[in-house]
C-alpha cells in the first residue's frame, strides 16, 4: 500500500479521490436507469420479466416470480445446519440491539387545557433490496428485515436476483425466513427498485425501499425518491483505521483487506502516528495478498483507493478521520475510548484490537447498512426509525385558544395570510380580538 505523509494537500487529494466513488459521479448510467424505471412503470410485469431475462438470463413470469414455501424448505435442506445456527445466533443479537431503538408515542397535557404529543406508527409496507451479484449477502437480509419488523411493519417485501435457473441463493432465503420477511420476489437491479416503487401486477408498491446494491440500484433509488422513501444512496464500502504505535500491524492489515475485497471501488485507509507501524502494515498487506481468494479485486481497490497516511499527531489524525467520515472506523490506540470522544463523523465505530469490522458485519448486533462517501456527516445507520413515521398531535380547549388568539392573529397578519387570521377570529366573533 502507498504510504504518504498526512498534510492538508494530501488530505484534500484523498477526499477528492473518495468522492469520485459516489453514485452521484456516475451520471453516464442515469439515462439507462431512467429508461428501465419508465419501462417498468408503464408496462409493469411485462418489462420486469423482460429485463430479468436480459440481465439474469432467467425465465421469470407471474407463476414463479414469488418464492414459494416449498423453495424455502428446499433452501433449508441445501444450507448447512451450522450456518443456519449462526444465522439464528446473529439474529438474536441484531434483534436485541434494534429493540432498544424503539420509540413510543407521547402526550403532554397542561392545566391550561392543551395537549401536545407525537404519534409514532410503523410504515405499512417496506421494501428490502438484497444484492446477489458478485457475492451473497444473507447478513444484509437480517440487517434490513429485522429493524422493519421491530418497528412493527406488517408487510416486508423483499426482492433479490435469481440465477439463470430461477433459483435464489439458499442462505439468502433462510435468512429471510428467519428474519420474518413476508414476501420474497425474484427480481434484481434497477427493475426491482422500479417495481417496488410503482408496483406491478406481481410486486406490490411499497412505502420505503432500503438495502444496498450496485451502481444501477443506487441510481434507481435516487430516481424514485419522492414516489417512495429510501434509506440512502449507498456507495462502495470503506474502512478507516486510526492507529498508534501500540496497534498490531497484522490485525490492522487484515481489517483493511476485509473491506478492500468487496469490490474495486472499495476504500481502505490507515491513518497512524507511527511510521514504523505504517511500514509493517504495508508488509503484512503484501503477505496476505498471496493468500486471499479475491486478490485481483483487492489489488485494484488498494491501487485506486488504498492509503496509509502518517500523521504528526493524533489530533491531526482525528481531524482527517472526521473529514473522511468513513462508513467503518476502527480505533486501535492505547486508549480508544478517549479517542472515540473526539470522533464526530463515522457510520460505525469499532474500539480496540478485538473489535474488528467483520464483527459488525455479521454478529454484534448494530446495523451494517451504513452511510458511505462522507454522508456520515449527516446520515445514520439503518435502524428502527427508518421504518416509522411520526404525526404531531395538537389539542387546545376554547380557553387555551382564547389566550393565544392575539399572538396567532398577529403572526398571520404579518405574513399577509388573512384567511389564517380569520380562521382564529371566527371562533371569537362578537368578543373582539383586542388587536
Whether residue 242 has pLDDT greater than 50? yes
Check: CB of residue 36 under 8 Å from CB of residue 190. yes
Q: Which of 361, 340, 358, 362 is nearest to 349 (CA)?
A: 340
Please say if 328 is a catalytic residue: yes
| Grid cell listed for 264 | 474495486
- pLDDT of 137 reads 84
Cβ burial of 269 (10 Å; 0-12, 13-18, 19+) is buried
* Residues 39, 348 contacting (CB under 8 angstroms): no
Annotated binding site for substrate: 237, 259, 262, 328, 361, 415, 420
Angstrom distance (rounded) from CA 331 to CA 348: 11
* Residue 66 Ramachandran class (φ > 0 left, ψ -120 to 50 alpha, else beta): beta
Among the listed residues 133, 156, 132, 150, the one whose alpha carbon sits nearest the alpha carbon of residue 210: 156
> Whole-angstrom Cα distance, residue 39 to residue 51?
10
> Which is the catalytic residue, given 178, 238, 284, 327?
327
With a cut of 70, say whether residue 133 has pLDDT above it.
no
> Which range, of 19-33, 117-131, 217-231, averages the lowest pLDDT?
19-33
Residue 322: exposed, middle, or buried by beta-carbon count in 10 A (0-12, 13-18, 19+)?
middle
Q: Do residues 340 and 317 lie in contact, with contact meaning Cβ atoms separated by under 8 Å?
A: no
**Which is catalytic among the residues 98, 238, 328, 368?**
328
**Within 10 Å of residue 157's Cβ, how many Cβ atoms?**
23
pLDDT over 70 for what percent of the chain? 97
Compute the average pLDDT of residues 274-286.
95
Per DSSP bridges, beta strands 155-160 and 229-230 are: unpaired
In this prediction, residue 433 carries a pLDDT of 47
Angstrom distance (rounded) from CA 213 to CA 203: 19
Kindly state the average pLDDT of the residues 24-42: 88
Known binding-site residue numbers: 129, 191, 214, 237, 259, 262, 328, 361, 415, 420
- Binding-site residues for NAD(+), in ranges, read 129, 191, 214
Q: Is the pLDDT of residue 416 over 50?
A: yes
Mean pLDDT of the chain: 93
Binding residues for Zn(2+): 259, 262, 361, 420
Residues contacting residue 416 through CB under 8 Å, at least 6 positions apart: none
pLDDT of residue 25: 64
Contacts (Cβ under 8 Å, ≥6 apart) of 338? none
Q: What is the mean pLDDT of residues 97-111?
A: 96
pLDDT per residue as tens digits for the range 300-350: 889 888 999 999 999 999 999 999 999 999 999 999 999 999 999 999 999
Angle, nearest 10°, between helix axes 189-198 and 215-224? 20
Residues in contact with 81: Cβ distance below 8 Å, sequence separation at least 6, in sequence order: none
Considering the entire predicted model, what is its pTM?
A: 0.91
Q: Is 46 a catalytic residue?
A: no
Q: In degrees rounded to 5, what are phi and psi of residue 116? A: -120, 145
Residue 78 has pLDDT above 80, yes or no: yes
What is the per-residue pLDDT across 349-406, written as a single tens digit (0 to 9) for each?
999 999 999 999 999 999 999 999 889 999 999 999 999 999 999 999 999 999 999 9
Q: Show Cβ contacts of residue 134 under 8 Å, excluding neighbours closer than 6 positions.
A: 263
Amino acid at each position: 500500500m502507498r504510504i504518504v505523509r498526512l498534510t492538508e494537500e494530501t488530505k484534500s487529494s484523498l477526499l477528492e479521490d473518495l468522492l469520485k466513488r459516489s453514485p452521484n459521479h456516475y451520471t453516464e448510467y442515469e439515462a439507462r436507469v431512467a429508461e428501465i424505471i419508465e419501462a417498468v412503470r408503464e408496462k409493469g410485469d411485462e418489462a420486469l420479466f423482460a429485463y430479468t431475462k436480459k440481465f439474469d438470463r432467467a425465465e421469470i413470469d407471474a407463476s414463479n416470480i414469488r418464492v414459494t414455501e416449498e423453495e424455502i424448505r428446499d433452501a433449508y435442506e441445501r444450507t448447512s445446519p451450522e450456518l443456519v445456527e449462526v444465522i439464528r445466533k446473529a439474529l438474536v443479537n441484531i434483534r436485541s440491539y434494534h429493540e432498544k431503538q424503539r420509540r413510543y408515542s407521547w402526550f403532554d397535557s397542561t392545566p391550561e387545557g392543551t395537549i401536545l404529543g407525537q404519534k409514532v406508527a410503523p410504515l405499512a409496507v417496506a421494501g428490502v433490496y438484497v444484492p446477489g451479484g458478485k457475492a451473497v449477502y444473507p447478513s444484509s437480509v437480517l440487517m434490513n428485515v429485522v429493524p422493519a419488523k421491530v418497528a412493527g411493519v406488517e408487510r416486508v417485501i423483499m426482492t433479490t436476483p435469481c440465477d439463470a435457473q430461477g433459483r435464489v441463493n439458499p442462505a439468502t432465503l433462510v435468512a429471510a425466513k428467519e428474519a420474518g420477511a413476508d414476501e420474497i420476489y425474484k427480481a434484481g437491479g434497477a427493475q426491482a427498485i422500479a417495481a417496488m416503487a410503482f408496483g406491478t401486477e406481481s410486486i406490490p408498491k411499497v412505502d420505503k425501499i432500503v438495502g444496498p446494491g450496485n451502481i444501477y440500484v443506487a441510481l434507481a433509488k435516487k430516481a424514485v425518491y419522492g414516489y417512495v422513501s429510501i434509506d440512502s444512496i449507498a456507495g462502495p464500502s470503506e474502512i478507516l483505521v486510526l492507529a498508534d504505535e501500540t496497534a498490531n500491524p497484522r490485525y490492522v492489515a487484515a481489517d483493511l483487506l476485509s473491506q478492500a475485497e468487496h469490490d474495486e471501488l472499495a476504500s481502505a485507509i490507515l491513518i497512524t502516528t507511527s511510521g514504523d507501524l505504517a511500514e509493517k502494515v504495508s508488509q503484512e498487506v503484501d503477505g496476505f495478498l498471496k493468500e486471499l481468494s479475491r486478490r485481483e479485486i483487492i489489488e485494484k481497490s488498494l491501487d485506486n483507493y488504498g492509503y496509509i497516511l502518517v500523521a504528526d499527531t493524533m489530533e491531526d489524525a482525528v481531524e482527517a478521520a472526521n473529514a473522511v467520515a468513513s462508513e467503518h472506523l476502527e480505533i486501535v490506540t492505547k486508549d480508544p475510548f478517549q479517542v472515540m470522544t473526539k470522533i464526530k463523523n463515522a457510520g460505525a465505530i469499532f474500539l480496540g484490537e478485538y473489535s474488528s469490522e467483520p464483527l459488525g458485519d455479521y454478529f454484534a448486533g448494530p446495523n451494517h447498512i451504513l452511510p458511505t462517501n462522507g454522508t456520515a456527516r449527516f446520515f445514520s445507520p439503518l435502524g428502527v426509525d427508518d421504518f416509522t413515521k411520526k404525526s404531531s398531535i395538537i389539542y387546545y380547549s376554547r380557553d387555551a385558544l382564547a389566550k393565544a388568539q392575539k399572538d396567532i392573529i398577529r403572526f398571520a397578519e404579518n405574513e399577509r395570510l388573512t384567511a389564517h387570521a380569520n380562521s382564529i377570529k371566527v371562533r371569537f366573533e362578537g368578543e373582539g380580538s383586542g388587536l
